[in-house]
Amino acid sequence: MKRISNLFFPTSLRYLFPQSLFFGILTTASLVTTSTTFISPADAQTPAVNNTDDITNYAQAVLAMETPRQQAFDEIKKLIGGGEIPKIICNDPKSMNSLPRQAQDIAVTYCNRSQKIVEDNGLSIERFNKITVELQNNNNLKRQVYNTLIRLQKKP
């Protein structure tokens, strides 16, 4: 006999929140990735992640950035009203030029806070960005980060 929850929330929907959180986190990571300079070609050829500490530190940083990201987004959304929020790139002042001054301040504060969160979690911005870039092309790494995010969220 099927459980009642299975009738209202099919298996695919039960996993929707963790998946949407993961993609939201990747979006946050992408914003932080753009806040530093480009990786040199020699560095780009070496593997980005070679130990579980990097994966754990990365996942902890991304989780810690999610709440401030949502708060900043909500505050900017209130200031703009019904308008669409442009893509905000931390190291590209032009991406913030279309925002009202108060919204620009919120975005800059978020970018600075994100950088501190990354560093507080044992990664340099360069290392964090390198992992983020690697995530886009490495499904195994994506799975490891996703599993680490789930594990970290289950901890009391």
Asked which of 36-40, 87-91, 113-117, 137-141 is least confident by mean pLDDT, the reply is 36-40
pLDDT tens by residue, 94-141: 888 888 899 999 999 999 999 999 999 999 999 998 999 999 999 999
Which whole number is the average pLDDT over 47-57? 81
pTM above 0.75, yes or no: no
Q: Dump the DSSP string for the chain.
A: ---HHHHHS-HHHHTHHHHHHHHHHHHHHHHHHTTSPPPPHHHHTS-S--SHHHHHHHHHHHHHHHHHHHHHHHHHHHHHTTSPPPPP-TT-HHHHTTS-HHHHHHHHHHHHHHHHHHHHTT--HHHHHHHHHHHTT-HHHHHHHHHHHHHHHH--
Q: Residues 96, 85: contact at Cβ < 8 Å?
A: no
